[in-house]
Amino acid sequence: MSPATPIITLGAPLIELSVIDSTNIYAISQVHKQLAVSGSCYRADFQTQGKGQHGRVWDSKPGQNLLCSYVLELKTLNPTKNWGPNDQNGLSAAVAIGAKAFFEAHAGDETRIKLPNDIYWRDRKAGGILIENTLRGQQWTWAVIGIGFNINQTQFNDVAVKPVSLQQITGKQWEIARLQTELSNALSISIHDWLQVGDAETIEKMKPLWKLS
């Protein structure tokens, strides 16, 4: 392993929030204020404006689901690399691989990645990913990785996306804090692998995990 490619540890420090508009909004504000620490995670019990793709709002009841955002400063991953917008596809694939591995460990092998940014169990949506990036000119400086998983919620308002929770799949109540640690570990492994093998191989690794319809 090259000294310029350190082992990645996500989730430390963990900043726990009670009620917030959106963990991504909060994390981005911390980046802009130069208060963010690369690798840290912001977790909320409830989001009033939880963000999904295309302006959608994440449907989540207070204290029942895993809602968090990780921040990564790219120069801390490899200070000698000139990070650019084209590298974002590799990170996106790595995050999807890690998120899928985390959920599959409990929900089983019917877990799939549905492009571009969702984790599905069978034909039902279990989680979503929203990565927002900060650029300085053509240099990619920070990534904010927002992830939401349905954990203990059993009733949903947004039935159009056919949501499902881990409790519905397994019949068990889950400890959110424990799952947060597991998600952090899974993402740390998948992002570390991406740094070792590069964008193309990581994207190829994701392809067998896709759910295309």
Query: Which residues are CB-neighbours of 126 under 8 A, at least 6 positions away?
Result: 103, 107, 111, 119, 120, 149, 150, 163, 164, 165, 166, 169
Give the separation between CA 11 and CA 14, rounded to whole angstroms.
Answer: 6
Q: What's the CATH code of the domain at 23?
A: 3.30.930.10
Give the rounded percent of residues in the chain with a pLDDT score beyond 70: 89
pTM of the model: 0.91
Query: Which residues are CB-neighbours of 83 under 8 A, at least 6 positions away?
Result: 74, 75, 139, 140, 141
Note whether residue 1 is domain-resident: no
Note whether residue 64 is domain-resident: yes
Domain count, the chain: 1
Reported as a single tens digit per residue, the pLDDT across 108-158 is 999 999 988 899 999 999 999 999 999 988 899 999 999 999 999 999 887
pLDDT above 80: residue 100: yes
| Predicted local confidence at residue 208, as pLDDT | 83
Q: What is the mean pLDDT of residues 14-22?
A: 92
Note whether residue 212 is domain-resident: no
Note whether residue 206 is domain-resident: no
Note whether residue 114 is domain-resident: yes
Note whether residue 18 is domain-resident: yes
| Predicted local confidence at residue 165, as pLDDT | 96
Which amino acid does the sequence have at 39? G
Question: With bands split at pLDDT 50, 70 and 90, how would you rate the model's confidence at 166?
Answer: very high
Question: With bands split at pLDDT 50, 70 and 90, how would you rate the model's confidence at 37?
Answer: very high
Are 84 and 139 a contacting pair, CB within 8 Å?
A: yes
Give the rounded percent of residues in the chain with a pLDDT score beyond 90: 73
Note whether residue 47 is domain-resident: yes
| Predicted local confidence at residue 139, as pLDDT | 92
Question: With bands split at pLDDT 50, 70 and 90, how would you rate the model's confidence at 3?
Answer: very low
Which domain range does residue 29 map to?
A: 14-199
Reported as a single tens digit per residue, the pLDDT across 38-70 is 999 999 998 886 555 445 555 667 889 999 999
Tell me which of 35 and 137 has the higher pLDDT. 35
